[in-house]
Structure 1
Amino acid sequence: MLIYEPHHFDLISNYDVINLNFPSHLHRCFELIFVVDGELEVMIEQRCFHLHTGQYLLILPNEIHSIVTKSQSRAKICIFSPDYIPTFQRMIETSSLEKPIFNLSLEAKTLISRTLFKDNLNLLEQKASLYLLLSELMSQTTLIKAEKKDSQLLHTMLTYIQDHFTEAISLNSIAVTLGYSYNYLSKYFNASVKTSFSDFLNGTRISYACHLLRTTEKNITEIAYLCGFENIRSFNRNFVKKTLCTPKEYREKIPLLYLDLHPVHNQLDTPYS
């Protein structure tokens, strides 16, 4: 079963993990892994990479990957939105990394240890650290044209949804845009993501709504329409279905949800539990 994680909107999420094992999944964000101790085996699009103590690895958006600990490992994971590094995102849109494993210079380690993998609210420092890290990565690898693969259609669909979920889209409109039949796309999507298109689309919209409720002062009705819902009733119904509380209750709990912005301290919320 392939897991798709539609969250992470304009945030950096940090995780401390021990003996991590996580099945095949993908998401719209970059994923940076640093092995503090031990070894990890990371499978990226059917390519296997072995990470050892002190090494870094970068997974690109929408790359299918899994993580296995065969003996023991302790690692730090930083998941960050493509919105943080638009220049690099444009560079790799149709490419993959020939070698995603890399090391950092002492100078880079000094800066990055202060700004990444920990709670740091200085956005400019975080972005500067990411670009420095990516610069060092690219000095140790090259970009290769992404190969056409069986999952390419899924990547195309997920990317389209991420780019247009705030609009009035439907599976039928996507089928017309991509040149496929509605019935074929419906069966393909259900089989690949193990959920219906409507549930997936609404889940993505609600994840974005949670982000807006946490980070803006926009009223709930405005947020509903900004997320792509046609009416407030549909928004409320789907919000309760996903979060088990109303948008108003969710916003009132924001002080308690502060840890959700920094999951490194909230192991109950982390997808890597």
Structure 2
Amino acid sequence: MLMYQSKHFETFSTLHTVNQNFPSHLHRCFELIFVVDGEMEVVINKRCLHLKTGQFLLILPYEIHSIITESQSQAKICIFSPDCVPTFRIMIENSYLENPIFDLSSETKTLISRTLFKDNPHLLEQKAGLYLLLSELLEQTTLIKVEKKDSELIPSILSYIQEHFTEAISLKSIASTLGYSYNYLSKYFNKNIGTSFVDFLNGIRINYACYLLSNTEKNITEIAYLCGYENTRSFNRNFVKIKLCAPKKYREKDSDVKALDRVIESTLTFQ
């Protein structure tokens, strides 16, 4: 199941991971990965990239990616909004990086460790560090242009779903709104998102249900309707299919498990 991060991150979000494995997902933010120790595989839009100790990798907004650790890895991840680096955002419009893996000079590494990965960093320091890092990245790779139509369609579809997933929406209604034929959009969605529209929509709705179950006292029937389902039977069936437990059991999970789910929801799904 492909996950879509529909929440717009705060300016920065940083994580320290150990033996990270994460399934296919995408979001509107940049994602910077630095391998502190070990090795990991990162798959970006079906390209498999091997990261070793000391290497950096940059994932661009709306690129479908997953992370696999076969042996062991320690990594630092910085997720930052495109609004934080507007000049670079304009430079990479309708493009992808020929090689998103790069190295940094020792001076820049020192600066990055002080600005991006420290507690309570100063916003201007973070932006300065990012621009220096991005400058060194562009010296080591090439921007490859892609067809504008395709590069803009996925964000348009995902934004529409995010705004209307609690309503009775369908791929036909989205096709009509965006001015595409249903057959074209259906094939495009399956090819580029890697799953059917129905499965994707259910994933968005159930993740929202998890947020409501963990953070509100609303009853399950009310949550089902708030998530866009017309009846609790359909809601319960899809919840069990995706989360492998009933909504009631999910709400009763121990605090540690629910805390982990909240981290995932806040970083890779939505609020």
TM range (shorter): 0.5 to 0.7
Is 1:98–2:98 an aligned residue pair? yes
Question: Hey, what does 2:248 align to over in structure 1?
Answer: none
Report the equivalent of 2:126: 126
Equivalent residue for 1:194, pick from 194, 199, 202: 199
Q: Structure 1 residues 173, 36: closer, same or farther in 2, change over 3 A? A: same
Tell me: CA distance 1:193–1:131, structure 2 relative to 1, closer, same or farther (3 Å).
farther
Match of 2:44 in 1: 44
Contact 2:94/2:148 (<8 A) preserved: no
Which runs of no fewer than 5 residues in structure 1 stay unpaired? 211-236, 239-265
Question: Which shows bigger deviation, 99-108 or 5-14?
Answer: 5-14
Cα distance between partner residues in 2 of 1:178 and 1:59: 27
Q: Any idea what the Cα deviations from partners look like across 1:183-204, whole Å, max 9, x if unmatched?
A: 986895882473439x66x96x
For residues 160-183 of structure 1, the C-alpha deviation after alignment (integer angstroms, 9 at most, x for no partner) is: 667x88xxxx77775345222569
**Structure 2 alignment gaps of length 5 or more:** 216-225, 228-258
8 Å Cα contact 2:15/2:76 also seen in 1: yes
Residue by residue, what CA displacement relative to the aligned partner does 1:183-235 show, whole Å, maximum 9, x if unpaired?
A: 986895882473439x66x96xx9xxx9xxxxxxxxxxxxxxxxxxxxxxxxx
Confirm or deny: 8 A CA contact 1:2 1:193 kept in the other structure: no
* Structure 1 stretch displaced more, 136-145 or 8-17: 8-17
Aligned length: 214
1:92-241 correspondence to structure 2 within 5 Å: 92-146=92-146, 153-158=153-158, 174-181=174-181, 191-192=196-197, 194-196=199-201
Partners of 1:76 and 1:67 in 2: how far apart? 13
CA distance in structure 1 between the aligned counterparts of 2:152 and 2:45, rounded to whole angstroms? 11
Contact 1:35–1:56 under 8 Å retained in 2: yes
Q: 1:128 to 1:41 in 2, by over 3 A?
A: same
- How much does 1:11 deviate? 2.4
Q: Deviations over 1:30-67 (max 9, x none)?
A: 00000000001111011111000000000000000111
TM-score for the superposition, normalised by structure 1: 0.65
Q: Does 1:270 align with 2:263?
A: yes
Secondary structure (helix, strand or coil) at the match of 1:25 reads strand
SS for the counterpart of 1:96 is strand
Question: In 2, Cα distance between the equivalents of 1:86 and 1:72?
Answer: 35
Q: Is the CA contact (8 Å cut-off) linking 2:94 and 2:151 kept in structure 1?
A: no
RMSD between superposed Cα atoms in Å? 3.9
Cα pair 2:2 2:200 within 8 Å, conserved: no
- Distance apart, 1:97 and its partner CA: 0.2
TM-score, normalised relative to structure 2: 0.65
